[in-house]
């Protein structure tokens, strides 16, 4: 039977990937184009203490970050914006950005990019990461 929605039983059972060996962030894929009828990518992005993304931008994709746990900053086209739990950030196509964890614990964001622009494929081609107890607790909603 086909449903007009995707079912997800437990985020803690999903797989995580690091794009490259030296990266200080990794991704838990919630939904992506492998989800029937879904085109964007929706992940939990996890930044290790001191971790950050490389400078990047997207040709046609909007990228949305919602901070679930931790704090950091976003550098967007040269402007520094603080990020803390409960903050939402929407980046338009072409905006060069860096997301950085400033905390002593991990930074967790719900990250959605639409359209996908090959991001899901890049993540899935990366290295598998084993989630630790803190990751599973944040994903399960037992750490606020």
Q: What is the pLDDT of residues 67-82, one digit of tens each?
A: 999 999 999 988 999 9
- 3-state per-residue secondary structure call for the chain: CCCCCCCCCCHHHCCEEECCCCCCEEEEEEECCCCCCCCCEEEEEEECCCCECCCECCCCCEEEEEEEECEEEEEECCEEEEEECCCEEEECCCCCEEEEECCCCCEEEEEEEECCCCHHHHHHCCEEECCCHHHHHHHHCCCC
Q: For the chain, what is the mean pLDDT?
A: 91
- On whether the CB atoms of residues 53 and 99 are closer than 8 A, the answer is yes
User: Could you state, in chain order, the average pLDDT of each consecutive group of 10 residues for the chain (144 residues)?
Assistant: 56 84 94 86 96 94 97 94 97 96 96 96 96 91 77
Identify the pLDDT of residue 72. 97
The single-letter DSSP state of residue 52 is B
pTM above 0.85, yes or no: yes
**CATH architecture label of 14-106+113-140:** Sandwich (2.60)
Q: What percent of the chain has pLDDT over 70?
A: 90
């Amino acid at each position: 039977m086909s449903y007009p929605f995707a079912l997800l039983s437990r985020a803690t059972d999903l797989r995580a990937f690091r794009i490259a060996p030296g990266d200080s962030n990794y991704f838990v894929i919630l939904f992506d184009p492998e989800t029937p009828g879904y085109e964007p990518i929706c992940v939990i992005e996890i930044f290790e203490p001191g971790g950050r993304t490389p400078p990047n931008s997207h040709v046609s994709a909007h990228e949305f970050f919602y901070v679930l746990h931790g704090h950091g900053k976003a550098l967007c086209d040269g402007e520094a914006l603080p990020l803390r739990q409960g903050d939402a950030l929407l980046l338009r196509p072409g905006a060069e950005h860096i997301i950085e964890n400033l905390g002593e614990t991990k930074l967790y964001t719900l990250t959605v990019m639409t359209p996908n622009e090959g991001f899901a494929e890049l993540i899935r081609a990366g290295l598998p990461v084993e989630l630790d107890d803190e990751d599973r607790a944040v994903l399960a909603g037992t750490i606020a």
